[in-house]
């Protein structure tokens, strides 16, 4: 439900002129709901940035999300899988 809720808010922000990127934990839900820009992360629920108290890991996920904001030549929705080295 969280995945859908943030996606619906993202869509309204986007309509009002704020560019958005939404992290998504369930790929099939992201595909059905279709937020404008989504970063699918392969982490369990409750852990959208993977690891607590690990600033480097969290930063890597946030940075991957920010990069979606810089995509200018694509048609929405944009859904990208996070690619990080495994730990």
Partner 1 sequence: MGEIAEFSLAVRTFLRAYRWRKIDPVPWEPLEKPLSDCRLALVSSAGFVTPDQSVFDESARGGDVSFRSIPSDFPVADLIDTHRSDSFDHEGMVRDPNLAFPIDRVRELVESRRIHSVSEEHISFMGSITAPRRLVRDTAPEIARRLLEAEVDVALLVPV
Q: Which residues bind partner 1 (CB under 8 A)?
A: 1-26, 28-29, 32-36, 41-53, 55, 58-59, 62-63, 65-66, 69-70, 72, 76-77
User: Which residue lies nearer to partner 1 by CB, 66 or 84?
Assistant: 66
> Closest approach of Cβ 30 to partner 1, in Å?
10
CB atoms within 10 A of CB 65: 21
Using CA atoms, how far residue 46 sits from 31, 36, 51, 52, 75, in Å, is 20, 22, 10, 10, 30
> Closest approach of Cβ 7 to partner 1, in Å?
7
């Amino acid at each position: 439900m969280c995945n859908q809720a943030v996606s619906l808010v993202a869509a309204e922000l986007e309509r009002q002129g704020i560019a958005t990127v939404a992290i998504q934990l369930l790929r099939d839900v992201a595909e059905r709901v279709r937020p404008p820009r989504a970063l699918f992360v392969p982490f369990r629920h409750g852990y959208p940035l993977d690891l607590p108290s690990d600033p480097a890991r969290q930063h890597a996920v946030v940075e991957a999300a920010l990069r979606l904001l810089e995509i200018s030549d694509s048609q929405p929705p944009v859904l990208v899988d996070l690619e990080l080295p495994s730990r």
